[in-house]
Structure 1
Amino acid sequence: MDALEAKRLELQAQLDGGKTAEDRNRMGQFATPTALAREILTHGIRLLPEREKITFFDPGIGTGSFYSALRAVAPEEQIESATGFEIDPHYGEPARQLWQDTPLDIRLGDFTGAAPEGQGANLLICNPPYVRHHHLDGAQKAELQSRTEDACGVKINGLSGLYCYFMGLSHPFMAEDGIAAWLIPSEFMGVNYGRMLKRYLLEKVTLLQIHRYDPQDVQFEDALVSSAVVWIKNTPPPKDHAVMFSYGGTLAKPALSRAVAATELAKEAKWTRYPQADKATQRAGISLGDLFDIKRGLATGDNSFFIMDRDQIEERGLPMECFTPVLPGSRYLPEDEIRADKNGLPQIEKQLFLLDTRLSEDEIAQRYPALEAYLATGKKGEKSVADRYLCRSRKPWYVQEKRPAAPIVCTYMGRSRAGGKPFRFILNQSDATACNVFLMLYPKPFLARATENNPEIMRAVWEFLNEIDEAELVGHGRVYGGGLHKLEPKELRGFPAEDLIARLPETKPLQEQLGLFEKAVA
C-alpha cells in the first residue's frame, strides 16, 4: 500500500468519525474497501483495449478510493485524466487537499445537476450513494426522473434509490465504447422498482457482466446490503447477446458463473436466480396465488403488551375467553408440523395467547374489571401502547386484525442453514393464529372445499412446498447483507404451482369450473 492510500484510509476514518451513523446513512456514504476497489479497477482495465489511455470518471468520489486503486493498478503514464464529483464538502474539501499534487480534479457539487463535457470517460467506476427513496422528497424525485429520462431514455421508478438515478444520469458522461462499473446493492435485480433500470441495461448499453458477491460476505461493514458489480459498455447490445452472471469469490475467480441470453433476461423478473438457475422461470398457468390467499401475519402494535403465556394471564386475573392462541417465533418451533390437542391448542412447549376481544370498553368494564385495569396500563406514559401508530388507528385501540389460524404458515425472513432452507413451511393443525414474522397461506374456496373432503390434500401441499429447491425459492425473493433472505406475500403468490396441481387430482373439477385448468394448459 502506498503512502497516499495509507493517508486516505486514515482520513476516511477521521471523516467518518466526524459524522453520526444516521447522517451517513441518510446520505448513503459508505466508502469502498481498498481490496475491493483494486479488484474492480484491475478487472475494468482488462476490459479496455491494451495500452489505451484512460480517462477516468467517478460521479460519487468521496475520498477517492477508486482513483487510489487506479493509481495502484495502472501505469501512471496510461492515466490521461481523472475527474470526480463529491456533494459533501465534509469529504470533498479534505479529499481535494489529499490529491492536490495529482491529476485528479474533484468538483464539489451535486452530480445529478451536472452537464457532461467533452468526449466522456472511457472508464467510469462508481460506488454511488445508497440513499433510499424515502429520503428523497417528491420534488427531488420528479426532477431526478425527468433528468434521468433525458440522459438515458428510461424513466426510473419513483421507489428507486438514488443509485439508480446515478446510473442513468451518467450515461452521457461515458465515451463511445467506454466501460463502466457500478458497485450497487443487488436488490435491483429482484424488486419491481428495478425493472426500468434493467431495461436500461438491456436496451441502451451492452450489459457485459453482473457479479454478485456472496451475501454472507458483506462488502461494507456498516451497510447491510448484498453487493453486486454491474459492468456495461457504452454501445448498443449486439444481436444474440449473452450476459455473464457470476457469484461468490472474486471477479477474477468467481465461485459460479454462467452466460445468460439477453432475450431470457428480458422475460425474467428475478435476475437474482442467476447464475445458479439453469433457465428462466416458467410462466405459471397456475401459481400459488391461484390456490391460496397469502397474507402476512397480524401486527399487534406491541407484542409484549398483547401476547402472554398462560401463567401471565392467570397472574393478572384476566379472562381466558378474551384470548386466542398464537404461534411463537420459529425458533420455538423445532418441528415443521404443529399438532393440536383436543381444544385446538398447539402441542408445543411455548404456548402463547393473544389478547383478542371486540368488546367495547364499557362492556369490558362491566364484565371484566381486571381486564379493564390492565388495558388502563396501556394508556399510561409518554409513549403509551394506545398511542402507538397501529393502535391509535384502531377503534377500539386494542382490537386486533382478523387473522384466523392458517393451515400452512411460512417464515418470510431467514438465513440459509446447514442442511436447511432460509424459509420454513409449517403445517399448522392447531387453532393458533400467527404474527407478522410469518406468512399465512389460506386456501381459496375451491381448495378449502376439496380439503374438507380429503384432509390429506393440505399435507400434500405442505410436502410439495418443502420439496421446492432452495435456489428456486430464494430466487423468487430478495437477499440482504449477511445472507438474510426475505420473501414477500406477492413473491410467494407468483411461485409456479402446476407440479402441485398434478398431485391433486381431486381439484380438477373445481379448476375447470373456475377456468384454472384451461389457464394451465393454454
Structure 2
Amino acid sequence: MQKVNAYKLPASGEAREHLREKGQFWTPDWVAEAMVDYVLADKDNALFDPAVGAGAFFRAAKRIAGEKGIYVSLSGMDVDPTALEQAIQYGLKKDDLSGVKIGDFVFQPPPTKLPAIVANPPYIRHHRISATIKEQLKHLSLQTIGKILDGRAGLHVYFLIRALTLLSENGRLAFIMPADTCEGKFANDLWFWIAANFTLDVVITFTSEASPFPNVDTNPLIFFIRKAKPKEKFLWVKCDEAQTEMLKMWVRSGFEIIPENGLTVIQRELTEGLNTGLSRPPVIEKPSKYVLGDFAQIVRGVATGANEFFFMTYEQVKQLGIPDSYFVRAIGRTRDVPSEEITQETLDSLQAKGRPTFLLALNGETFENYPEKLKKYLKDGETLGLPQRPLISQRKPWYKTETRTAPPFLFSYLGRRNSRFIRNTARIIPLTSFLCVYPKSNDKEYIGRLWKILNHPATIANLVMIGKSYGDGAVKVEPRSLEKLPIPENVIEQFGMPTQMRLFEDEEIYKIDSVIKRRKT
C-alpha cells in the first residue's frame, strides 16, 4: 500500500463546516505507524480502533505486522459508513474492515476488554454537542472518574475516558488528541484520574512546522498510556521534523535509542508535568515571584451579541442619522491592529478602508427618550429577532450594551505567532477579540514602565505557560489565565520598578468596579 502522509482538507465554505461537524481529521501514516508500533509492541495482538475513519491505523497495523513478522487482527467502530468507503480508496480491502461495527463507541462500547487501542477520535468541540448528549456524557464522567467534567470538554475527551476503561491488564493505548485535552478547565480532574489509575509512558508534542495536521486550528499531542501501576516519571517528546522516520524508530526501540534528529526527548516528573501542563515544556527556571495580576487587572472586551447590529462603519452611522453621542470608538479584530499601538491614525486608516469602528453604546434609558432615528433602528433590531438571541436576551432592556473604561493596554486574545500587548493611545473600546489590561495605578511612570515590561521578549515567552495552544503556533489566553502570566524578576529589575509600583504589597488603587461600569436603567 502506498503511504499517505497528507490529506487534502477543504479550506472554507460548506465542506469545511461539514468537516468541523464530524470532527474528521485523518492521521498521516508516519504518525499512525509510530502509534501502532507502541500498542502492538512485539507480539501477536488484536488492534481496536474506535474511530476507524479512512483506516490510517489499520493500514499502519498491516505494515507494522509485516515488518515485525507478527499477526494482528483488526476490529473497530465508526458512526460514518461513508468514511469506511474512503478507507477502501486509500488501500484497505473489504476483508480488512470486516471487524468494523457501525455504531457509537462512547455509548455502545464493546463488551470485552481490549489489549491494544489506537485512535484519532473525532474532534467535536462542546458547542457542537447537543444538550441531550451532554447530559449523557456528564453521567459517563460521574460514573467513571467520580466527577462531572466541565461542560467545555469535547467529545474526544470522552473517547479517551471510554477507551481507558476498556483496556485489559497491561493493555496499551495510543491516542492523538488536541492540546485542550490537558489545557482545558476540565483537564485537572481528567488527568488526576488517569495519573492515579494508569501509567503515562510518553507524551509527544509537535512544533508548528512538524504538525501532522497543517492548516488545522488545533495543536495535536500523542499520549501513550498503559493499564499498569502508575509511574513517577514519563517521557516528553518534541517532534520538529514532519514525516520523520525517527519517530517510529524511537518507539520501536522501546524508547531506548537516542534520536539523532527530528526528536527531542526529556524525562520528566509526572507531578511537574501535570502542574506545568503536558502540552508545555518543563519549567527549568524557578517560578517567578511576580505575575501580571500583581500589577494589572484583566477584563475581556465588550460582547455585543450581534456585532452586525451594534458595530458599524462610518458610512453606516451617517446613513442611519443616529447622533454621534450614542457611539464610542471601538476595534473588533486583531488584524485591524498591525502595530503595537492604536492611535488616531489607526482609526482614520480603518475608517478609510470601510472597517467598523463605531460601537452603539446605549445605557438602557427609557426607549421613548431616544431620538426617532435611533428608535426606528432598535425596532428594526426587534424585527430581526435580536432580543431572542442567547446573550442579548439576558439584558434588560435588550439593547443595553456592556460598557468599559478605555483600557491603557489591550492584549490580542488569540494570536498566531503574534500574541502581543497593544498600547491604546486612541482610547478605543475593544470587542471580544481583545482583553482589556488595566494597570493598578494611574501614574504615568507606572504605566510607562509596565508597558516596557509587558512587551519584553521574556514576558511574551511565558505566554505558552498559561495559554491554550492551537494550530500553527496560535495561543489563546483567557482573562484569569493572563493575570497568572509570570513576570520574570530580572525584567522587573531591568526597568527599575520603584517600590511604590508594587501595589500588590499595599492597597490597590485601581478597583475593578471602576472598570466595568453598570449603568442603572
Give the TM-score, by structure 1 length: 0.77
Change (3 A) 1:61 1:153: farther
Q: How far 1:312 sits from its partner (Å)?
A: 5.1
The equivalent of 1:73 in structure 2 is: 64
Q: Give the partner amino acid of 1:32.
A: T
Could you give the per-residue CA deviations for residues 84-137 of structure 1, whole angstroms, max 9, x where no partner exists? 22344555699799645459622343333335536x31x321112223334545
Q: How far 1:349 sits from its partner (Å)?
A: 3.4
Give the counterpart of 1:356 among 345, 361, 365.
Answer: 361
What are the within-5 Å matches in structure 2 for residues 65-214 of structure 1? 65-75=56-66, 77-91=69-83, 99-102=93-96, 105-112=99-106, 113-117=108-112, 120-121=114-115, 123-136=116-129, 140-141=133-134, 143-144=136-137, 147=140, 156-214=149-207
Is 2:279 aligned against 1:272? yes
- What is the Cα-based RMSD across aligned positions, in Å? 3.9
Report the Cα distance in structure 1 between the residues aligned to 2:415 and 2:422, rounded to whole angstroms. 14
Report the Cα distance in structure 1 between the residues aligned to 2:216 and 2:240, rounded to whole angstroms. 18
Report the Cα distance in structure 2 between the residues aligned to 1:234 and 1:296, rounded to whole angstroms. 42
Q: Give the partner amino acid of 1:455.
A: K
Is 2:459 aligned against 1:464? no
Give the counterpart of 2:35 among 12, 36, 40.
Answer: 40
Q: How far 1:230 sits from its partner (Å)?
A: 0.9
Q: Give the partner amino acid of 1:75.
A: G
Checking the alignment, whether the CA contact within 8 Å between 1:152 and 1:172 is kept in structure 2 is no
Is 2:471 aligned against 1:481? yes
Is 2:499 aligned against 1:493? no
Report the Cα distance in structure 2 between the residues aligned to 1:355 and 1:235, rounded to whole angstroms. 59
Checking the alignment, whether the CA contact within 8 Å between 2:235 and 2:265 is kept in structure 1 is no
Q: How far 1:138 sits from its partner (Å)?
A: 5.8
What are the within-5 Å matches in structure 2 for residues 320-335 of structure 1? 320-327=324-331, 329-335=333-339
Report the Cα distance in structure 1 between the residues aligned to 2:57 and 2:373, rounded to whole angstroms. 65
Could you give the per-residue CA deviations for residues 471-518 of structure 1, whole angstroms, max 9, x where no partner exists? 4213311122343321111210111347376643343685444499xx
Q: Secondary structure at the match of 1:182?
A: strand
Q: Give the partner amino acid of 1:299.
A: A
Is 2:270 aligned against 1:262? yes
Checking the alignment, whether the CA contact within 8 Å between 1:92 and 1:106 is kept in structure 2 is no
The equivalent of 2:221 in structure 1 is: 228
Could you give the per-residue CA deviations for residues 383-433 of structure 1, whole angstroms, max 9, x where no partner exists? 3656654445434443321112001111111211xxxxx212112233322
The equivalent of 1:394 in structure 2 is: 395
Change (3 A) 1:372 1:210: same
The equivalent of 1:299 in structure 2 is: 303
Stretch deviating more after TM superposition (398-407 or 252-261)? 252-261
Q: Give the partner amino acid of 1:437.
A: S
Report the Cα distance in structure 2 between the residues aligned to 1:509 and 1:301, rounded to whole angstroms. 37
The equivalent of 2:254 in structure 1 is: none
Report the Cα distance in structure 2 between the residues aligned to 1:506 and 1:64, rounded to whole angstroms. 62
Change (3 A) 1:204 1:354: same
Change (3 A) 1:237 1:104: farther
Q: Give the partner amino acid of 1:195.
A: N
Checking the alignment, whether the CA contact within 8 Å between 1:357 and 1:399 is kept in structure 2 is yes
Change (3 A) 1:489 1:511: closer
Report the Cα distance in structure 2 between the residues aligned to 1:429 and 1:29, rounded to whole angstroms. 44
Q: Give the partner amino acid of 2:337.
A: L
The equivalent of 1:424 in structure 2 is: 420
Checking the alignment, whether the CA contact within 8 Å between 1:151 and 1:171 is kept in structure 2 is no
Change (3 A) 1:486 1:103: closer
Q: How far 1:347 sits from its partner (Å)?
A: 7.3
Could you give the per-residue CA deviations for residues 42-81 of structure 1, whole angstroms, max 9, x where no partner exists? 4655xx24xx223322222235321121112322851243
Q: Computing the radius of gyration over CA atoms, which structure comes out larger, 1 or 2?
A: 1
Report the Cα distance in structure 2 between the residues aligned to 1:110 and 1:101, rounded to whole angstroms. 21
Checking the alignment, whether the CA contact within 8 Å between 2:310 and 2:359 is kept in structure 1 is yes
Change (3 A) 1:509 1:299: closer
Report the Cα distance in structure 1 between the residues aligned to 2:450 and 2:164, rounded to whole angstroms. 48
Checking the alignment, whether the CA contact within 8 Å between 1:81 and 1:103 is kept in structure 2 is no
- Give the unaligned 5+ runs of structure 1: 14-18, 417-421, 517-522
Q: Give the partner amino acid of 1:227.
A: P
The equivalent of 1:244 in structure 2 is: 236
Q: Secondary structure at the match of 2:500?
A: helix
Q: Give the partner amino acid of 2:159.
A: F
Report the Cα distance in structure 1 between the residues aligned to 2:285 and 2:149, rounded to whole angstroms. 24
Report the Cα distance in structure 1 between the residues aligned to 2:142 and 2:313, rounded to whole angstroms. 56
Q: How far 1:176 sits from its partner (Å)?
A: 3.3
Checking the alignment, whether the CA contact within 8 Å between 1:297 and 1:439 is kept in structure 2 is yes
Is 2:46 aligned against 1:55? yes
Q: How many residues align structurally?
A: 474
The equivalent of 1:433 in structure 2 is: 429
Q: How far 1:298 sits from its partner (Å)?
A: 0.8
Change (3 A) 1:197 1:438: same
Q: Secondary structure at the match of 2:186?
A: helix
Q: Give the partner amino acid of 2:262.
A: P
Q: How far 1:170 sits from its partner (Å)?
A: 2.1
Q: Secondary structure at the match of 1:350?
A: helix
Q: How far 1:362 sits from its partner (Å)?
A: 1.6
Report the Cα distance in structure 1 between the residues aligned to 2:501 and 2:262, rounded to whole angstroms. 46
